[in-house]
């Protein structure tokens, strides 16, 4: 199987050089426009065929698509999702327990109660911060997990844990596993799309959507935050129409002769397929990314009437349009360290909430109104939370906390109007119904009809998986 294994250095070079261009887009396009079912099992002596045709999972699925709203940097659960009356009561007192700081130079042991008020929302009575009025309106549709835990205190390692199952880089991420296992229902768009923020790529850059050692067609495809969202999508004027078709047919003959002499070269096969599908992408991608036909009410719902939320709202709306057209996995990112409030939290946290709260809630409501929420998982969260003590007393902030933090999920089989787990009385560590990153992955896979124990990719040095031998369980308490 060495033909299916790629050197880390060459992959990193390729991703870095191609992630923003049509080359990366091509690698994730469908390799076969025909056929709705997986190819039948073949003799073990034959090379496996990797493609993105739709595949039937081992168990009946409840979800068919996922939209991940990735809040890179670490939103403060203590100020958004996890009210702590005892912390408020002891505000300014010294923390006496064990605590791990990321920035010891600015650390203090002075407890910091949330300066924002919490109140109950919906019929479920979910307590949420006043900074999240939009989320409060859809509280009855979400599951709020207050007991997330990765236990690795730096951004990169915790991002990796939540994305690829381990703290190491270079492994396939969740979106890649889902597209590897299930393919995609849409035949004219990438199976796995990443909508990046104008503020820059998240920490660890393109590794956030790498296919790792899976064949390259399972990596994420970047859709940029500004036009042209997909560069080089239009052919030059002198190649429009039949001229382009003749040119591509001519090039295709050379490429297939080249591939025939090099069986098993998945990168080459994916590149060839990209030419075959380029013409249809020119039409399908433009249509999917064009929100001008959306109603005024829909655009207002997503906050496009507000300069502060317009950009993120546009990407959330595009995410809905993509899954509506059969895309399997969409990730909507915030910018590099936008939620990493070591200082300035009193101004910066409200600003970030203003940017994302209304669009995030609108996505849940819009999917629900269109009958898509039952089959689409929406997740919202970062790689960590924040500590219950002051960092940087001259410019108040909070340091990293990966031992207990919050995220929310909606649709696709998750409970509605439900709070799961808890942290201790000061919000430092998860103590009840802890959900590790491996549990999170096992639970998500189960909703797509997949088993975290048997979803593997065979490699020369042993089978690889998303959970990769770590203790993991499907958290039944999260499921409807």
Is the CB of residue 288 less than 8 Å from the CB of residue 315?
no
Helix %, strand %, coil % for the chain, to 5?
35, 15, 50
Is the CB of residue 27 less than 8 Å from the CB of residue 270?
yes
Tens of pLDDT along 173-232? 999 999 999 999 987 999 999 999 999 999 999 999 999 999 888 999 999 999 889 887
Q: How far is CA 36 from CA 39, 52, 251, 445, 473, in A?
A: 9, 10, 28, 21, 31
Can you read off the two tokens belonging to residue 214? 């899976």
Residue 22's pLDDT band (cuts 50, 70, 90): very low
- Per the model's pLDDT, the better-predicted residue between 104 and 156 turns out to be 156
Percent of the chain scored above 70 by pLDDT? Answer: 85
Domain boundaries, the chain: 2-478
Residue 45's pLDDT band (cuts 50, 70, 90): low
> Could you tell me the pTM of the whole model?
0.86
Q: Is the dihedral of CA 301, 200, 146, 59 positive or negative?
A: positive
């Amino acid at each position: 199987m060495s033909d299916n294994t790629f050197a880390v250095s060459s992959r990193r070079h390729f991703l870095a050089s191609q992630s923003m261009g049509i080359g990366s887009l091509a690698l994730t396009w469908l390799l076969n426009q025909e056929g709705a079912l997986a190819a039948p099992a073949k003799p073990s002596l034959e090379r496996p065929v990797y493609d993105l045709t739709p595949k039937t999972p081992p168990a009946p699925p409840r979800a068919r698509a996922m939209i991940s709203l990735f809040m890179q940097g670490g939103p403060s659960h203590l100020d958004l999702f996890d009210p702590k009356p005892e912390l408020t009561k002891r505000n300014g007192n010294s923390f006496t327990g064990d605590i791990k700081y990321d920035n010891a130079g600015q650390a203090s042991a002075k407890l910091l109660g949330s300066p924002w008020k919490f109140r109950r929302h919906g019929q479920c009575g979910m307590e949420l911060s006043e900074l999240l009025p939009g989320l409060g309106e859809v509280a009855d549709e979400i599951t709020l997990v207050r007991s997330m835990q990765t236990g690795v205190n730096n951004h990169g390692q915790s991002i990796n844990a939540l994305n690829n199952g381990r703290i190491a880089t270079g492994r396939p991420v969740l979106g890649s596993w889902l597209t590897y296992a299930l393919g995609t229902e849409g035949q004219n768009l990438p199976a796995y799309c990443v909508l990046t923020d104008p503020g820059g790529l998240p920490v660890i850059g393109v590794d956030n959507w790498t296919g790792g050692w899976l064949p390259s067609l399972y990596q994420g495809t970047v859709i940029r935050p500004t036009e042209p969202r997909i560069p080089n999508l239009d052919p030059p004027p002198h190649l429009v129409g039949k001229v382009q078709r003749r040119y591509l047919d001519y090039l295709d003959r050379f490429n297939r002769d080249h591939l025939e002499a090099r069986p098993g070269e998945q990168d080459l096969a994916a590149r060839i397929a990209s030419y075959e599908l380029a013409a249809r992408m020119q039409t399908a991608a433009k249509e999917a990314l064009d929100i001008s036909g959306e109603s005024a009410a829909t655009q207002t719902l997503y906050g496009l009437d507000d300069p502060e939320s317009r950009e993120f709202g546009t990407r959330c709306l595009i995410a809905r349009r993509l899954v509506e057209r059969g895309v399997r996995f969409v990730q909507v990112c915030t910018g590099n360290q936008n939620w990493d409030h070591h200082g300035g939290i009193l101004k910066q946290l409200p600003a970030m909430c203003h940017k994302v709260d209304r669009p995030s809630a609108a996505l849940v409501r819009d999917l629900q109104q269109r009958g898509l929420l039952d089959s689409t998982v929406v997740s919202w969260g970062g790689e960590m939370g924040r500590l219950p003590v002051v960092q940087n007393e001259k410019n108040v902030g909070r340091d990293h906390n990966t031992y207990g933090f919050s995220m929310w999920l909606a649709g696709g089989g998750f409970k509605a109007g439900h709070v799961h787990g808890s942290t201790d009385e000061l919000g430092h560590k998860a103590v009840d119904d802890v959900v590790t990153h491996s549990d999170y992955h096992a639970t998500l896979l189960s909703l797509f009809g997949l088993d975290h124990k048997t979803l593997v990719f065979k490699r020369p040095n042993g089978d690889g998986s998303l959970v990769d031998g770590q203790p993991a369980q499907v958290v039944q308490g999260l499921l409807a």
